[in-house]
Structures are given as structure tokens and as C-alpha cells.
Amino acid sequence: MKVLFIYPDISTEVINFCPAIHILSSVLKRMGCETAMLHINKNYGILYDREAILLKAQGYDVYAFTATSFTYKYANEIAGWLQNSNPEVLRILGGAHATIQPEDFEGSNFDIFCVGEGEEPMRELIWALESGASYHTIPNFITRKQRNPVRGFYRDLNNLPEWDFEIMDTVKVLEARHGWLSISFSRGCPYECTFCINHLYKKIEIGPNDKMKDYLRRRTAENSINELEKLAKTYAIKFFNIDDDLLTMDREWMTEFSKLYREKIFSPYNIPYVINARADTLDEGMVKLLKISGCKEARIGYETGNEQIRNKILKKHTSNASLKSAFDMLKKYQITGVAFAMMGIPGECPSTINDTINSIIELQPGMMRMTFLFPYKHTEIYNDCLEKGLFKTEEVGDNRDMGSPLKFKDLTDKDLFCYRFLLPWYINARWLNSEMYQDAIDYVRKWSLSTLERSLPSIIQMDQKLSSMMDRPHYRYYPNNQYYFELYEN
């Protein structure tokens, strides 16, 4: 069987790796399948163009797509093109969108939606196609004939093969990503953050006989390091970007991983790594482990400076005190602390944004990533916004980075844009008592919203010019990036 994986990587300006395709390709290759990948990205070489895609999609038995809700419309349109040109080839959609919005199947251009984890369903699909058996009864599948129950989750991740990085031009992608290679070693999360789709996964994947402790699955530290070592020998990697959210929760695992990483990766290859962590897991002992093993950056789900919104609305259950302790500890051991933040959360108002400004001044993270909240359908926060009539639009638009989909009593769209994109200036004006930054805010805020949206590149250029005139530590945009701010000293 020949399977073409199709990855519409076109919702952001960057080029991304795709965990689902990397692992599923390895699973199918282990069965003897031939696999290939259409990585659709304007900076990668395969454009979102009907004729170019159809030309590349000839000679396959299955088209296997993955998509989030942000990229589903592109995946569905491509599936329509393929349905018209090659109707005999099966089209299957996996990934987050098929799992959290299975109701979209009926009106889609796909033959199958795969709900939940895909390794076993894809194996069984290939067996069915090779033997001439029906695929309509395979668990996890929604087909034109029926919707099947979802099996339990895949328990022993060590039994899965290593990721297939040969399916894409990894050398080219690494060059575009400045040597950053992304990988993960775990699945599952015990928390119930209202904005995260994880609680939707738990509802479908944890059956009556499954326990939460079994839902949190990790490859062993040794198994994980073995794969990193092979990658370090194969590619010119400058950073391992470890995408897991909760590895620092398991102190025993992190202790073994840190020891092996230093011994087998950091010492011989000098490749540092970047990790995600909850603030309440970063005590001095854990941060020491990270430091000695080669961790250069820890990213924390800060979300907002208003503790009530963070914990009552988002159900993050992270205190201001734990955030302060975590960022202080990271600074002590010279690990860059990154605050992942959102704006436009229900309950947002000038006062809560003021809390965020004051909080960042107090915490002084080395970097900050800011986005607008866009609630995923069926999440708890989505249902709450829907019930309260907060949506301006429920559609996922291409300009979602430029504004919030929600309405706010005390904030206009222009207010939100300015707070979001001028946030480093607001921080600097208050922290440094800087008239220069306050004058810049006052000047830009006179523009209309449409002018502001068109002028974002100019705003970032202005930010770089303002930064060049500063002789004290301050926040500025990370060069050529509209999402990240950095604490910078000339």
C-alpha cells in the first residue's frame, strides 16, 4: 500500500514538524507500506495550489490528512480537489479537528474521520484494504455507513517505533527553523484547563475501566534519549524543542532523563534543549536538574496576570506566588523563563490588562509569547462564551492573530489590538517611567483599527528603533516576530 500524508501547514508563518505524521509513517512503514508526505507551506516549497497538489498526489492508495480546527478548511478543500480528480482513493482525516468536531464529517469531503489516537486504527485500515475486508467497523472511525466506538488509548509508548523524520526534508526544515527540532515523549494530562482540548480527549478515550494514572503515558527516559542520540548523529540540530507539557511533574523521570541527556547529548554534541513546565513543578531541585543537563529555556503557562481569570475562568490552578517562585528560580540558574500568555479572555477589561502589565514587571520573564484566546469548539470555555453570547464570530478566520473573536463590555477591538501589540511599550512606559514609550503609545493609538492592522510591520520596526535608543533593560519584540517579546539589554 502507498499512503500519502497531507499536512496543510499554512496557518502560521513558520514551518512545523508534525508529530502525528512522523509516528504514523513509522507505524505504516513497519507494516511494509510506502509513505510520502505533502508538506504544504509557502516557505517550504509545496504551495497551497490545486494543480501543484494534484500533480504531487498521483499514484497512492490512501490520502491521510491531519488538521487542527485552524487548518481544517484547507484540508477539506484539498480533499474535495482529490475527490474530483481521484475518487477511487480513500480520504481519511485525523488530528484534533476530527476528534473534537466529529459532527463536521457529514458535510465534509472525507470518507473517514478518525477520532482519537490513530496508530491502531491506521494499522487496521491497511489490513482491511490489503485483504479486501470492510473498514467501516474499525473502532475510532466515522464512515459513510456508521460511527464506531472509540477504543482505549495506546498504553505502552515504548512499543511504538521512532519518529520518521525522513518523510520530510528535515534538513531543509531545520535550516528554516534555525536548527530547532521538535519532538515529544508523552501523552495525556490530568488538568482541566477550560481552553484546552485535552478534557475533550479524556472524555472519549478514558473508558469505564481506564484510570487517570494510565492516561498519563510516557516513554521511558532511556528510550527517549536513545532516539535523541540517533537524531543528534544524523542532523545538524542546535536545539531540541521538547513539546511535552508535563515532564517536570515526574521527578523520578526527569532525574533519569537529565542524567542521560547530559551524558549522551549535551556533553558529546553540545545540543541544549527547551522544555515546557508548570510553575508549581519548578522548585530549586528541579531547576538544578534542568540546568546541569543542558536546559536553556523553560516555557510556563502564565496566561494572564489576573489570578481570578487564570484560576476561575481558565481553571489553570496556578497562583501568582508559584509563578514568582518559578521565574525567580529560573533566573537564579540562568535558564530563560518564557511566559505563555493570552489576551481577550472572558472577563477581560482594562483593569485585568493592568494586572498583566504589573505582573510582567514583577516576574520579568526572559521572554513572553502573547496571543488572543480563540476558544476551540466544545471546550468548556467555548460553551461558556456561547451561552453568554460573547462571540462576534464562531468562524476560524485567517486573521485570528489580529483580533479576538469575542465581545467585551469595556474594551473595543481597537483597545484589544493596542494592548496586545503594544504590550512591550505599556510595560516599558510603566516599569521604566519612560516618556518615550508613552509618547509612542499615544501616537499609535490615534490610528484607526484598519490602519493599525495594516501597519503591524511598521509598528514592529518602530519597536526596534525605540529599543535601539534604550540604555536600560527593557522589553521589545523578538526580531521579525509578532508573537514573542524579549527582555533585552543593549
Query: Cα 22 to the chain's mean position, in Å?
Result: 16
Question: Distance between CA atoms of 299 and 275, rounded to whole angstroms?
Answer: 6
Find where cell 502573547 sits: 370
What superfamily in CATH does domain 178-421 come from? Aldolase class I (3.20.20.70)
Question: Distance between CA atoms of 381 and 406, rounded to whole angstroms?
Answer: 12
Burial readout 278-291 (b: 16 or more C-beta within 10 A, e: otherwise):
bbbbbeeebbebbb
Centre a 10 Å sphere on the Cβ of residue 127 and count the other Cβ atoms it contains: 14
Integer-rounded Cα radius of gyration of the chain: 23
The string of pLDDT tens digits covering residues 433-472 is 999 999 999 999 999 999 999 999 999 999 999 999 999 9
Quote the cell numbers at residue 332: 537564579
The size of the chain, in residues, is 490
The DSSP annotation for 368-419 comes to EEEEE--PPTTSHHHHHHHHTT-BS--S--TTGGGS-SB--SS--HHHHHHH
Question: Distance between CA atoms of 341 and 227, rounded to whole angstroms?
Answer: 32
pTM: 0.92
**Widest CA span of the chain, in angstroms?**
74
CB 150 within 8 A of CB 102: no
Spell out the residues 6+ positions from residue 296 whose beta carbon is closer than 8 angstroms to its own: 239, 272, 273, 274, 335, 336
Which of these, 244, 245, 484, lies nearest to 371 by C-alpha position? 484
| CATH number, domain 2-154, options 3.10.20.810, 3.40.50.280, 3.90.230.10, 3.40.190.10 | 3.40.50.280
Apex 40 CA angle, 39 and 42, nearest 5:
125
> In this structure, what are the phi and psi dihedrals at residue 473, rounded to the nearest 5 degrees?
-55, 140
CB 373 within 8 A of CB 344: yes
Q: In the chain, which stretches have pLDDT less than 70?
A: 11-13, 205-214, 394-399
CB 405 within 8 A of CB 374: yes
**Model pLDDT, residue 222:** 98
Spell out the residues 6+ positions from residue 256 whose beta carbon is closer than 8 angstroms to its own: 221, 222
The DSSP annotation for 117-181 comes to --HHHHHHHHHHHHHT--STT-TTEEESS-BPPPPPPP--GGGSPPP--TTTTHHHHHHHTTTEE
Residue 336 host element (H or E): strand 336-343
**Model pLDDT, residue 363:** 97
- 69 DSSP 8-state letter: T
Which of these, 7, 33, 27, 237, lies nearest to 121 by C-alpha position? 27
- 249 DSSP 8-state letter: G
CA atoms within 13 A on the CB side of 353: 24
Quote the cell numbers at residue 90: 480513500
Return the domain boundaries, the chain.
2-154, 178-421, 422-490
**Model pLDDT, residue 207:** 55
Q: Compute, in degrees rounded to 10, the torsion defined by CA atoms 189, 194, 200, 205.
A: 30
Burial readout 433-449 (b: 16 or more C-beta within 10 A, e: otherwise):
ebeebeebeeebeebeb
> In this structure, what are the phi and psi dihedrals at residue 425, rounded to the nearest 5 degrees?
-70, -40
**Model pLDDT, residue 190:** 85
